[in-house]
Amino acid sequence: MNLYEHTWLYDLVYDKPADSEQIAFYERCLRRYGSPVLELAGGCGNDFITFAENGAEFSPSGFDGVKAFSGKNNGNNPGETKHFEGDMRSFDLEDKFALIFAARNSFQHLLTPEDIESTFDSVRRHLKPVGKFVVEVGNPSLESLLRDPCERYFVGEYQTEFGALIVSENVRYDNATQINKIDRHYRHQLNSEEKTVSFFMRQFFPQELDSLFRRNGFRVERKFGDFDESEFSSLSPKQIIVAALA
């Protein structure tokens, strides 16, 4: 089963509280760069709900398994909301945006060079001349990627209305494609009933990621290593790029 066909399982691991550093970072981006705003691959809309509660209004839509949110933030008077459906690799909207962002490692679902380049092209066409494109991906860990594919690794224990779920995963990393296949297992603590879902994540190595932005018409203005806006280093858990049109 595909992870994104079971959204509550995705949210169980990845959903962040409203006071998390991740949410705080994107709220700062909204304040700095203005509106309108487009979020690519917005999932179930949890970011949208949090931002709306803080004065920004968005509308969820589907992008063939990835989602988008768009809206105008006018302080305490949120403006027009719009609903879009399509594919983030190839979308054509009537608006240009002051901020476009892809949070929660969603950019890593672009698995091929063609997917990546067409997404950059779509963003380029929809970004205002002084707009910003913010992308968040992981900083690849060879230790994690090269784990034994036959061994399950503990992810966490999560409480649900049905009781505790123990989450573990297997990973199978392909060096040639830089794609990591993840089989994630959700086991009920009491009755041991288990559900397994799968998903794929492309790995972007630091110099490669910077080069992709430059080759696709963007200038990297800042690169953070985490949501506290610390500078990126080899030990950083994240790669968070703030880019502008070149």
Highest mean pLDDT pick, 3-17, 28-42, 138-152: 138-152
Query: Does residue 64 or residue 207 have the better pLDDT?
Result: 207
**Cα separation of 105 and 192, whole Å?**
30
Q: Where are the domains of the chain?
A: 14-140+204-245, 142-202
Cβ proximity of 40 and 100 under 8 Å: yes
Residue 56 binned pLDDT confidence (cut-offs 50, 70, 90): very low
Q: What is the mean pLDDT of residues 43-72?
A: 47
Q: Which fold has domain 14-140+204-245?
A: Rossmann fold (3.40.50)
Residue 95 binned pLDDT confidence (cut-offs 50, 70, 90): confident
- Find the range with the poorest average confidence among 25-34, 134-143, 229-238: 25-34
Q: Give per-residue pLDDT as tens, 191-215.
A: 888 989 899 999 999 999 999 999 9
**Cα separation of 51 and 34, whole Å?**
13
What are the Cα distances from residue 21, in Å, to 95, 136, 182? 29, 13, 26
Percentage of the residues of the chain whose pLDDT score is greater than 90: 54
What is the predicted pLDDT for the residue at 35?
83
**Cα separation of 144 and 240, whole Å?**
20
**Cα separation of 85 and 235, whole Å?**
38
Q: What is the CA radius of gyration of the chain?
A: 18
